[in-house]
Amino acid sequence: MYKQLFSGIFFVFFIESAVAIEEPKYTVLEKSEPFELRAYSSKVIAEVLVAGNLSDASSEGFKLIADYIFGNNSSGTGNNEKISMTAPVTMASMSKESSMAVPVIIEKTTTQWRMYFVMPSKYTLDTLPKPNNAQVKLRNIPAGNYAVIQFSGLAGEAKVAHKTADLMWWLNSKNIRPLGVAQLARYNPPWTLPFLRRNEILVVY
């Protein structure tokens, strides 16, 4: 049921936002395909914590945040407000064994996830409508540098773990120390053909 709802909500957003879907702003500091070092601007996010495997957590997390964006919120005027969809949809492992000082390779044993959408840049924490659902949290992520690996295809748990390991190897070869958990960013709706999909693993450094 959640997978069908996930696909349906994503379809509505994609059709309405097909002309221009906003993405977080960044500057490329270094490029060595499929790797990049990027400097991201600060951003405001809407996030939820969800449990389950990667697939189930993706569906549940998307449903909760999409509900907020669709209008389950309260603005300063007391009315609800529809917020434009952005890309990517980002997930990070929240394993109890992880530390913000140690990058986490996403594994099948991981059951806790953080999913977030970056809010359109016209908003600040003060101007965003407040979520009616207490599970949805708003917060600011400060500007920072991220290492990234890009890949196409399906982003299953085994492939995500493999790509994360590749990114860690590349950073180690450059004597760069990761400072945060690995994040999976997916840019496409679920019906996109695998070879056309755009995925990334990001980690702050």
pLDDT in tens, 166-198: 999 999 999 999 998 999 999 998 889 999 999
Beta-carbon contacts of 70 under 8 Å, excluding residues fewer than 6 positions away, are: 9, 82
Place of tokens 């492939």: 159
**pLDDT confidence of residue 169:** 97
pLDDT tens for 65-123 read 999 999 999 988 878 999 999 999 999 987 644 332 333 333 334 478 999 999 999 99
Count of residues for the chain?
205
pTM: 0.82
- Give the mean pLDDT of 11-17: 47
Three-state DSSP class for residue 22: strand
Quick one: how many helices (H) and strands (E) in the chain?
A: 3, 11
Domains of the chain (ranges; CATH) run 2-204 (3.20.80.10)
Mean pLDDT of the chain: 86
Residue 9 has pLDDT above 80, yes or no: no
Give the integer Cα–Cα distance in Å for 58 and 115.
Answer: 8
